[in-house]
């Protein structure tokens, strides 16, 4: 093993070719690495976090629906959807739909 390796100058064309190959390899390997890391990241803690997040979203949607229902009842005096719980406000007119709970307030 006494052979000497002679250093050579690399041309711009070869350097550009190497840079292009490295970029192409990086782009091809990136999606594969991302899918592998996502699959491995499912831990018990992350599952609990996702369940809590889903619960928050559901409660938020329920609050929004109830708020829209109360607003609609205040504006028109009619209920057009389904609501659960207690509705407080003014009630004048007919109520359509199904509502569970009590309605209190004064008619103006």
Q: How many CA atoms lie within 13 A of 22 on its CB side?
A: 6
- Residue 74: the pLDDT is 93
Average pLDDT, the chain: 74
Smallest CA-to-CA distance from 91 within 70, 75, 77, 101 is with 77
Who has greater pLDDT, 84 or 10? Answer: 10
pLDDT in tens, 32-72: 655 555 555 578 889 899 999 999 999 999 999 999 999 99
Q: Three-state DSSP class for 40?
A: helix
């Amino acid at each position: 093993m006494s052979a000497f390796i002679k250093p050579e100058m690399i041309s711009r064309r070869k350097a550009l070719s190497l840079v292009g190959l490295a970029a192409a390899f990086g782009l091809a390997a990136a999606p594969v690495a991302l899918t592998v890391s996502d699959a491995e990241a499912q831990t018990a803690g992350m599952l609990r976090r996702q369940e809590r997040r889903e619960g928050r979203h559901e409660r938020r949607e329920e609050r929004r629906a109830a708020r829209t229902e109360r607003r609609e009842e205040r504006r028109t005096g009619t209920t057009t959807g389904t609501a659960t719980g207690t509705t407080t406000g003014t009630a004048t007119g007919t109520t359509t739909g199904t509502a569970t709970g009590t309605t209190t307030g004064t008619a103006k």
